Amino acid sequence: MNKKLKLNYKNTFFIGLAFFAILMLWQVYNTYCPLILRDLLESSFKGDADRLTYVIGIIMAMDNLVALVIMPIFGNLSDKTNTKYGKRMPYILIGMLASALIFPLIAAFFIMNSLVGVIAIMGLVLIIMQGYRSPAVALMPDVTPKPLRSTANGIINLVGYIGAIIAGALAMVFKKTDANPNDLVYLWPFIISSVCMLAAMVILKFKINEPKLLEETKDDIELGEKLSQSIEEIKEDKPLSKKDFANLIIILVAVFFWFMAFNAIETFNSLFCRDILGSEGIHGTFTIILTVSSIISFILLSSVANKIGRKWTIILGLIALVVGIGLMALFTFVLRDVITSYVWVIYLLTVIIGIGWALVNINSYPMIVEMANKKNVGKFTGYYYTASMIAQTATPILVGLIMSFNDAGLRLLYVYSLITMVIALLVFFFVVEKRDLKKKNEKKGILENLGDLD
């Protein structure tokens, strides 16, 4: 048992290319689709733009509703798949190829002024992407021992966020202005994203041999099971203990609420920047700052969980998110008359939000799959994404309705996110971590020893 576990950084980086493609397409999708839908709805129905916000929320949420069904199915399906290419890679490669080919059709139908076409392709893209997302995410824990998964997840998020930076840069460059109102400007971000996805797919195909990796890491995975941070030992033939099951439910509820908060911003921030802050380009800068601050945090703070535990690392992240989003709500709602003159404050608060989101992201998924055994990682990955997708289905509709039928409109966006993020923080305090129990028992032992002195 003297063997020391060591992470293969190169393989982890290449595995992260699937997440790179997902995050880049996701960011382009969330940036441009609300703008495209707003323009098409105004053109089709000639309605009050502010009263159409909830319709955009419903359309964005319907895609996630479909994904809610798709992700657990494909997570489970990939657990049971056995091919010469592995159990995850066939889904990943086929999904990446299909997504890349179909994605630009969203912009193409927008140029043709087809609302039905845009909505149909949005749904199709999301079905395909979510179909391969669970297998893509499950590949990392398949080949990474449990104690190393937070670090590995940090690297994968680092690679993924490079994709988000590219998407943010595209949003800064390809935007409609008074000088250039041409709809064609929206086509290029979709094409460039698809080309990048195809390049990532080719590299992934030639660099990752899943069956070989599984064989090479088999002994490390077995050792990692013995070093697990779950409260009780995880066995293949037994269900979770009551304590681990309670932890799982609490974590999933917290995941639900923090995605309620964050996805509301993701869905409507491009509209918020255009209508409240006065420029679509601010959203691109926001995205880049958020991503860069998260990447730096992945690099500098990936080992924090080893020192204070995943639970308290996530709590620190949630506190940072509450502070950043709370101050953003203050500036954009209470001090709304001066905020356009102090956009730099928005960017500063974005850094705080980026740091908090990184701390949460690095550790939350590993906490879920910590409770999986080596045969059902895909199923537990499905649990994680089911919770997040329920949130991402509900939140665009809910916040869209709130903003549509309130005179404050989009200024309520960060107020809503603050409330749901505070709920996530309060819920997560109830998580019990193995190291907390150990400390509690150590203190109890000291008190018992003192009692023996009497």
CATH of the domain at 385: 1.20.1250.20
| 404 within domain boundaries | yes
- Average pLDDT of the chain is 82
Report the C-alpha gap between 7 and 148 in whole angstroms.
Answer: 7
| 162 within domain boundaries | yes
Kindly report, residue by residue over 63-107, the tens digit of the pLDDT.
677 777 787 788 788 888 888 888 899 999 999 999 999 999 999
Kindly report, residue by residue over 208-220, the tens digit of the pLDDT.
888 888 888 887 7
Report the C-alpha gap between 269 and 56 in whole angstroms.
Answer: 13
If you write DSSP's letter for every residue of 295-314 in order, what string do you get? HHHHHHHTTHHHHH-HHHHH
- Positions of the chain with pLDDT under 50: 1-2, 231, 440-454
| 168 within domain boundaries | yes
Given this model, what pLDDT does residue 444 score? Answer: 43
| 441 within domain boundaries | yes
Residue with tokens 């990939």: 78
Could you tell me the end-to-end alpha-carbon distance of the chain, in angstroms, rounded to an integer? 40
Number of Cβ within 10 Å of residue 438's Cβ equals 10
DSSP code of residue 146? G
Phi-psi region of 86 (alpha: psi -120 to 50; beta: other; left: phi over 0): left
Given this model, what pLDDT does residue 55 score? Answer: 81
| 42 within domain boundaries | yes
Q: Residue 95 to residues 23, 49, 74: CA-CA distances in angstroms?
A: 14, 35, 11
Report the C-alpha gap between 432 and 151 in whole angstroms.
Answer: 21
Report the C-alpha gap between 258 and 276 in whole angstroms.
Answer: 24
| 454 within domain boundaries | no
Report the C-alpha gap between 345 and 6 in whole angstroms.
Answer: 41
Residue 401 CB burial class (10 angstroms; 0-12, 13-18, ≥19): middle
Given this model, what pLDDT does residue 104 score? Answer: 95
Q: Are 21 and 200 contacting, i.e. CB atoms less than 8 angstroms apart?
A: yes
Two tokens at 346?
């928005």
Given this model, what pLDDT does residue 68 score? Answer: 74
Amino acid at 137: V
| 206 within domain boundaries | yes
Residue 247 CB burial class (10 angstroms; 0-12, 13-18, ≥19): buried
Report the C-alpha gap between 401 and 399 in whole angstroms.
Answer: 5
Domain that holds residue 439: 13-448
Kindly report, residue by residue over 394-417, the tens digit of the pLDDT.
898 899 889 888 887 888 999 999
Given this model, what pLDDT does residue 237 score? Answer: 52
Structural domains of the chain, count: 1
| 6 within domain boundaries | no
Given this model, what pLDDT does residue 153 score? Answer: 76
